[in-house]
Every structure is written in structure tokens, then in C-alpha cells.
Structure 1
């Protein structure tokens, strides 16, 4: 785990309380957490296995699926094992460095996921508007570079947050009313001036999401313009069908995240357990449903998965 040069006074542990007011129901709440995690692992590992095994799937779209699958596995693994430890075994302790590392991985994972979704929008644009040059524009090396840029961008934008949190004094109360270390709940137990931190976090979040959504909207506006130039109505539907999976994944990824962020920052009247559920939905639900959506909507991937698993 990454070290954040913590001062000696910050070497103690935090207590992750779980879901305040619903401690008696932790075992029952753990069931959807565990179910989502199992389906996330099964679905995303299946995509990685099938795409890696089938040479015909070594195409830009499927390689980006694999990149998204790795991001989904990382994000869910940052959250669920610790949450289940709280629900099942009352393992509520977490070190300060472990808490800040969890913040870094989770936030970087979402920023990278957003970057991969932008790359998918660009892939669909090239595939529909310039199909003859699709594989020459989006080579394996360029796809790897897109993934690396998404990772570096996310890390550079996110890492100042735990660094700032580690430099501010913590109050005597080290109980975090949450199942995981997120930046906003951790910031609430700080005693220093949080003005710059709050401003930085809000600006970075809106900048990353705003720029990525703008790029995706630009890609799809160009796609729609190209499709409308086609005279046949049947020909209209075919390229648009290839985009439905991507649009569905985007809606599932951005909508709960933005809603959770706004309620955490400005929803003071919303019950804490509701905020916690919202904060976990944007991690659990998209990472579980992404491989299902792509498996259903993408015929070639669906056929290859069926062929491979029928042999087992």
C-alpha cells in the first residue's frame, strides 16, 4: 500500500462504523453486497478470459471491454471485502494509511473508468464514421496508451486529496460512519480548514466528469450526423444498436456517482444510511451489470462466451 508520509500522531486506526442505525441488520445487508461482488467477479473475469482466449476478439472494442472489466474488479475489490469484514466479523479497524490508500484506489478507479468510457465513445465514432481505418487508427498500442493516460490522469487528479487529508489534524473522534473510506466522510472528522480541500474536490470531480461527458457527447453527435446521412432506415438502426450497450453503461456509471456526490456534499437532511447506500450503489451496481449488458448486447462476445462455457 502507498505511504503518505503520515506524522507520528496519525499512526492510529480509524473505526468504520458500518451503516449507522442498521447495525442489527448488517448480516442481511451483506447479502446484496456479496451477491453483487460474486456476479462482478464472475462476469468481468469471464470477459477477460474469453477475450484473451479468442483471437477474433482482439479488436479495439473488446480490448476496451477488458480495460473496463479490470477497472470494475479493482473498484469493487476496494469496497466489498472490507464491508463484508464489518458485516460478518465486526472488523471495523482500518489504519490511517490503509484508509487513505482506499480513497486513492477508489477515486482513481472511477476516474479511469470515466476515461475508458470516453475511449469507448471514440471507438464507436471511428467504427461507424470511418470503418475502413478503424483497426489502423485504434491499434493495440494506441489502446494501451489510452488506458495508461486514463490511469495517470486519474491518479494525478486524485492523489492530492489523500495528501491534503493526511496533513490536516484529525479530531479526537476517529469513528467514520461508513462501510468504506471515502474522501467526504473522512473529511468530516477533520478539525482543520477544509475550504481548499472542498473546492479542489468539487472542481476536479466536475472537471473530469464534465470534460469526459463533453467528449462522449461530441462523439455521439458526430455518429448521429453520419447515421442520418444514410438513406435506408434499416441502415440507421444497425450502427445505433452497437452504441446502446455503451450508453447504458454510461448512464449506470455517471448517474449514481453524481447523485451520491451531491447528496454527500449538500444533502445534510438525508439520512446517513441512505447516503451510504447511494455511495455503494455507484460501485456495486455498474461493476456487476457492465459485463451482463455487454454480454447481452454484443452478439459476437455473447456467442464466444456461450461456446467457451458450453465446452466446460
Structure 2
């Protein structure tokens, strides 16, 4: 059982008398976000947010050029399997001249009123209860939890503390080039439509190395974008690598992690969580 594997790992690495003991300063755990800590269907939440801004509810968020609006509409219509990649393209084109403070404010305001189309609940209420319990357990036993997402850090940081107990400085995500500008009210950090770092696949490992400078001993993911992060964590002498599998179409959604991810899980012996079998409750 996945629960036993997680509890057994925590018990071993936190027992000073265990051969698998890990010192508190080395207890680093990394968690993907979309599909690992909260719902990612029918569309990734950040993409839904950006689409809502395209309706011009927030005038400052509206692209100024009609041609740009047409390109965005084209991208939104063709999004299928390459959802994350398309989201990154949309983000790059969309944010020029928007300050990080403005963007965080828009995210917070949107999350207060936006409801999931199927479950009719705020998105922040659609975090996975079992994963919240894992986060709490790890925190209580001396782990430092990091959120490592292919989504943008600008979108996640405003609410990560409240939703997961993960402070914004422990959120690692995709980023754009930023610049310091002088405004009437003072200095501000603006985003430029230039990709700086796409935090997915191999990028997750590079971002963890760059920002934490420690290899995680526990890693949780659900898709091909998490393979390298889980494999890297698995090279620690003692490690826990967990793949969340979406197998419950009644309480959530049923879809595959993909052949490459499932093959990696078998090859490397990752702990596999079956939502339908292992989780009594899905959402918080």
C-alpha cells in the first residue's frame, strides 16, 4: 500500500537509531502542483485564469494589439495534448509591462470568485486531501517542502501558503525575464514577454539544483514532466519517489500518466498511488 510506504519511509529517516536516518537539514521534499497537489482537469487552472483575463474583465490585462489577441485565440482553440507548452506561450506574449504586484493581485482576486466548471467549488478547495496530509506529516517531521511546478511561480505564490502551508519562497516555477522600472508610485518589477526558464521535465532538476542546492530525498509527481525530478531524487541513498495515478472518473478524472511515465515507474520502483483504491477522500 502507498500509505504504508510513505509512513514507513518517514519513520525510518526520522529515527536517529535507524540506518536510514536523514539529518533534518537534508530532509528536502519536492512536489509537483497540477495533478499532484490539486486538480488539473479539464484544463490547467492557470490557463483558465489567463483565458478569463482575455475577456477583459481587467482592462490592464488586455493585450493592446488586435493581432496579438487573434494569436492568443488561435492558441486557445488548438490546445490539446500540449497544454503546458501552450500555456507557456500564452504567458510569454501576455504579460509585457505588467508588474509582479499587479499579477499577484489579479490571481488572488480571481481565485476568490472563480469556480470549477464541474465541481462548482473554488479551485483552492480542490486540493487533494491525502496530499495535504502528506505535506503536514512531512512538515511535522522536519522536512522542508518545496513546490516545483511547470506552471508559473507568479501564479502559485499568492496562495501556496494558505493552500499547502508552503511559503512563496519555497515555490519554484516557470519564469519570465523581469526588469526594474520607475513608475509614479515608485520602483516596480515588471514582467517581459521573454521566457527565462521553463520549469518542466529536466528543467525541474536544474531549478531545484539552482535554488535549493540540495537533492530531494522525496519527490511526488504525476506526469512525464516529473520523470527527471523523481529519477534524480531516487539517486539519493535513501529516497521516496511517488507517482500519483488518476484512476477515479467518479470522484475526480480518469486519465493515464502516459507510457513513458509508467515505464519509468516500473523501471525505478516508484511508489504508485491509485486514487480510486488508495484515497478515501479526494478533495480537502
TM over 0.5: no
**Which has more radius of gyration?**
1
Q: TM-score range by the shorter chain?
A: under 0.3
- Structure with greater helix percent: 1
Name which structure has the greater RCO, CA cutoff 8 Å, separation 6+: 1
